[in-house]
Amino acid sequence: MSLPKDKAKKLVSSPYAWVVLGLLTLIYISSFVDRQIIAVLAPAIQDELSLSNFQVGILYGTAFSFIYALCGIPMGRLADIYSRKLMIIAGLVVWSLMTVVSGFASSLTFLIVARFFVGISESALSPAVYSLLSDYFKPEQRGTVFSIYAAGIFVGIGVSFLVGGGIAEAYDWRTSLMAVGAPGLLIAAVAWFVIREFPRGILQTKGNQRFDTEQSFGEVVRYIIRKKTVRYHFLGFSFMAFTGYTILGFIGIVLSDIHGAGSLVPQYGWFMMASGLGVMVSGKAADWLAKKFEASYRFVPGIIAALGCLPLYYFGLFAESAMTALILIGLANVISSSYNGIAAAILQYLVKPNMRALASGLYLFVISVVGFGIGPPLTGWLMDTVFTGDYGAAKALMTVFTCCGILATAFFWRAMKYYDHDEEEN
């Protein structure tokens, strides 16, 4: 049940709101630990279950992403109508349990089924959180707030490398899966008592304050995607996700196959932690650019992320030293991943308050299908069949990153052109 509007307004951007933001970020960290751990453990799982690079790409990317993407859209619609708090906590319990269960896997099929359930449950999280945070904080704070939340992606990935990878080295990959899944159950218990449901759109000052929840699903979807800014937003950020998920899926193989330095893979987690800081800086910059210049300048950090990473990726992927490769690729990822908070924040300005979760679900659908579902298996296929030799993996990855950076930049420029026309009063 939602708090009364007068009480909720007093809590907007209050210390309590920041506490909830911290807790939601912790939940997001948990989701990415459980999501990313498969890539961290990929070499060990690959050896024990005799998997090809393509099968690793399917397990890490496609097995999770397509069900995650498909479920994200109806989950977004449900979050626009029903309790966002309940959806967040229920999802956390399920994906934590499924990660623990994955530690008992004896085949690729077993792991894929478990990944399906992780994907379904995690699809309930971000659409509900994006909608909830839009009510917890003032509109001019969204770039910063959403970027703090998005930093949880990289803290989670960092933890999966450092903690999950460390446990796997000390014990085995099965123990690692069980260990990283269990804490989510404790977090869920805390979240139940801390998070409160807020009325939707409590800060809206114009227009009809009573939102129509009787609109059909199709009507809401058509309203969202008919906006050119939204379409270009989806396309641009999907190519950024293509780059991000691909390097995460294959950094272990790059260090192991090219340099014979698999022991360095857990250290990549430190760069994931730094990527979280990059996301927060990018979000703060987006808020500043929108205030200083024009609202459409919120896309500028996305352009910087798309192009600024390419030189570092090039020199890192083709480095002769494993340590040089680790450092340069890690720094490149700090830049290329910095878009994550602003991508979700921008979308909240383009739709009505009762459509935010569904719009977020559509966004996650697109970036999951293109970035997570297609990126790793396509790149794995390029490694297996097109780019071979000592630096075949590097050639495949650099080809993918260059194409994605150029395409993303082109779509961001187009989105900026239509932004003023498509922005909603929020």
Contact 377, 58 (CB under 8 A): yes
Mean pLDDT computed over every residue of the chain: 87
| Token digits of residue 101 | 């269960």
Domain presence at residue 304: yes
Q: What is the pLDDT at residue 243?
A: 93
Domain presence at residue 208: no
| Token digits of residue 165 | 């990878």
pLDDT at 290 exceeding the cut of 50: yes
Long-range CB contacts (within 8 A, 24+) of 15-22: 17/136, 17/137, 19/194, 20/136, 20/194, 20/195, 20/196, 21/133, 21/136, 21/137, 21/145, 21/148, 21/149
Domain extent at residue 135: 5-193+220-422
Domain presence at residue 215: no
CATH of the domain at 288: 1.20.1250.20
Domain presence at residue 209: no
pLDDT at 389 exceeding the cut of 50: yes
Q: Count the domains in the chain.
A: 1
Q: What is the pLDDT at residue 208?
A: 46
CA gyration radius for the chain? 20
Neighbours of 217 (CB within 10 A): 11
pLDDT at 367 exceeding the cut of 50: yes
Domain presence at residue 206: no
Three-state DSSP state, 196: coil
**What are the tens digits of pLDDT across the range 407-424?**
999 999 999 999 999 987
pLDDT at 425 exceeding the cut of 60: no
Q: What is the pLDDT at residue 203?
A: 61
* H-only helix segments in 254-321: 268-292, 300-308, 310-317
| Token digits of residue 382 | 């390029």
Q: What band does 4 get if pLDDT is binned at 50, 70 and 90?
A: confident
Contact 124, 75 (CB under 8 A): yes
Neighbours of 334 (CB within 10 A): 23
**What are the tens digits of pLDDT across the range 244-287?**
889 987 888 888 888 888 788 878 878 888 888 899 999 999 99
Domain presence at residue 212: no
CA 307 to chain centre: 19
Domain presence at residue 207: no
Q: What is the mean pLDDT of residues 124-145?
A: 89
Domain presence at residue 210: no
More confident residue, 169 or 293: 293
